Amino acid sequence: MRIGVLALQGDFARHAAALGRCGVEAVEVRRPEELSEVDGLIIPGGESTTLLKLMDEWAFVPALEKFHAAGRPIFGTCAGLIVLAREVESPRQFSLGLIDVTVERNAYGRQRESFEASGTVTLDGRAHPLEMVFIRAPRIRRVGVGVETLAEHHGEPVMARQGSVLVATFHPELTDDPAVHRYFCDVVSRARVAA
């Protein structure tokens, strides 16, 4: 099993390292045709408008839509969540619409308002303690029908899943806990079996 990490911008190296700790081969994806070589994809945090501009320059949007249509899982963290959301606010911007959530950009404030929090995440029906790192994080303001909330912070969803798309407002790659990446690896593994 090989999982790609979109390596256009953001902390893709940390995600690759986290996948390595899970015993999975990570592939840095820089061109759309490289998506055919991976079973799942992580879209890391960074700056969503910059990421979208780079994706547009490299014609990633149709390739990602095809990747999703084939049932291959995608995990977006922070800016990756913004890119995958159905709707984006503050300001409104283009997004892929692959998960039925509405996201508000930078809703927790600027870089200096970044913070860490302890919480609980429900993975495969079991609750796990989880440290969460929020950096210029978006907020999930609406969760659509068919979207499962997996973790909350102060009663607000911070991790969600709809089918093959997983998203988080926080940065799981910045902690030593592999639980979230291991869960995504399991999602990818099950999708491969079902394909």
Residue positions annotated with a catalytic role: 78, 171, 173
Furthest CA-CA distance within the chain: 44
Give the number of residues written for the chain.
195
E-strand stretches of 144-193: 148-153, 156-162, 165-168
Distance of CA 160 to the CA centre of its chain: 9
Cis omega before residue 91 (within 30°)? yes
**Is residue 194 within 8 Å of residue 156, measured between CB atoms?**
no
DSSP 3-state assignment of 164?
A: coil
Coil, helix or strand at residue 130 = strand
- C-alpha atoms less than 13 angstroms from C-alpha of 96 in its C-beta half-sphere: 28
Q: How far apart are CA 183 and CA 57, in angstroms?
A: 32
